[in-house]
Structure 1
């Protein structure tokens, strides 16, 4: 599950975000506790707690005292908006810049995309 490209706590946070976006985790659904998560993935509980804390800070998860962590009702929309913004900035902008350099118009790109569906 985990790779060496980024810290494990960030990979935990990204995995939970992906589960929310895919619908595996739904609004107000309880997520595994940090101890359960740590035991399941055989990682340090402090590492799992750091990933969960980041998600709480970002408003993706919320705590119910004495009960556990839950998916924030606003999380799916917030995560989609962030991913859309990142898609345009990181994926589409470089494509449009290259298209401009080689003389491809936005109309040509739109026509090409329309013909692929």
Structure 2
């Protein structure tokens, strides 16, 4: 992933997303030290305060923890937390989109459920 300075998504959110991706990909393991805000700033050619804001976001989401004087580290279940959150967010959005589209097409709830069950059977 690359940080896109001209993207509408704030850079600190892109940093947080990139770090989460590194955790999911097992490039950052549980209890492993993460990049400092200065390392991230140099890596992506951004302001250290912006990088720090991305780290703080993950700290607040309890995906990282701080060791005084040593830096920030990945919490033990960070990968599971990230995957669980993403699954919930993505599936909820997809379900809402599906229900809205079914309503636009005048598909009844029963018919929609039958279509979902049929699809599940076909994918087994």
Which bracket does the TM-score occupy, shorter chain normalised? Answer: 0.7 to 0.9
What is the aligned partner in structure 2 of residue 47 from structure 1?
Answer: 50
What is the aligned partner in structure 1 of residue 61 from structure 2?
Answer: 58
TM-score normalised over the length of structure 1 = 0.86
What is the aligned partner in structure 1 of residue 119 from structure 2?
Answer: 112
What is the aligned partner in structure 2 of residue 2 from structure 1?
Answer: 3
Partner Cα distance (2:51, 2:82) in 1:
20
Gaps of 5+ in 2: none
The 5 Å alignment of 1:1-117 reads 1-3=2-4, 4-102=7-105, 103=107, 104-116=111-123
Change (3 A) 1:100 1:114: farther
CA RMSD of aligned residues (A): 1.8
Give SS of 1:106's match. helix
Gaps of 5+ in 1: none
Give SS of 2:66's match. strand
Partner Cα distance (2:18, 2:78) in 1:
14
Give SS of 2:27's match. coil
- The number of aligned residues is 117
The offset of 1:78, in angstroms, is: 1.7
